[in-house]
Amino acid sequence: MDWGGPGFVIAIIAVSYGAWLLNNLIRAKHGYELEDEWGGKSKRGDTAETKRLKTENRDLNDKLDAMQDRMVVLEKIVTDRGYSLADEIEALRDTSSKRADSGVPLNLDKKEKA
C-alpha cells in the first residue's frame, strides 16, 4: 500500500468522519450536546416530553425533600423520647406487679346510654 497516495488520505478522512458520526450518535443517545463540523456545540431544544419530565423530576425532588424533613422530625422524636419511654414502661410494670388487680373492668354486659 502506498502511504502517500490518495487512497490513504481518503481512508484517513473516512475513518475521521466515521468516528465523528459515532461520537455524535452516542452523544445524541445519552442527551449530550452535539458537535458540529467546526467543533462547536449545538443545544437541542426542549420538547414537550423533556419539559414534562423536568416538571415531574422537580415535583419528585420536592416530595423527597419534604419526606426527608419529616424523617428528621420522626428520628428526633424516637431518639429523644426513647430512653424516658422505656423508663416509664418499666415503672408501670413495677407498680402493676405490686397490685393484685391491675385490670380495668369493661362491663360488657351493661349497655351505656349516651
pLDDT at position 71: 92
Per-residue confidence band for 107, with pLDDT thresholds at 50, 70 and 90: low
- 103 — phi, psi (to 5°)? -90, 165
| Total number of residues shown for the chain | 114
Q: Say which range, 5-9, 39-43, 75-79, 83-87, has the weakest mean pLDDT.
A: 39-43
Report the alpha-carbon distance of residue 68 to residue 60 in Å, rounded. 12
Instruction: Please state, for a pLDDT cut of 70, what percent of the chain lies above it.
Output: 67
The residues that bridge with 42 in the sheet, in sequence order, are: 34
pTM of the model as a whole: 0.36
Is there a contact between 32 and 39 (Cβ–Cβ < 8 Å)?
Answer: no
- At 75, phi and psi to the nearest 5? -65, -40
CB contact burial 76-95 (16+ within 10 A = b; e otherwise):
eeeeeeeeeeeeeeeeeeee
Residue pLDDT, tens place only, 11-33? 999 999 999 889 888 888 887 77
What is residue 29's predicted lDDT score, i.e. its pLDDT?
83
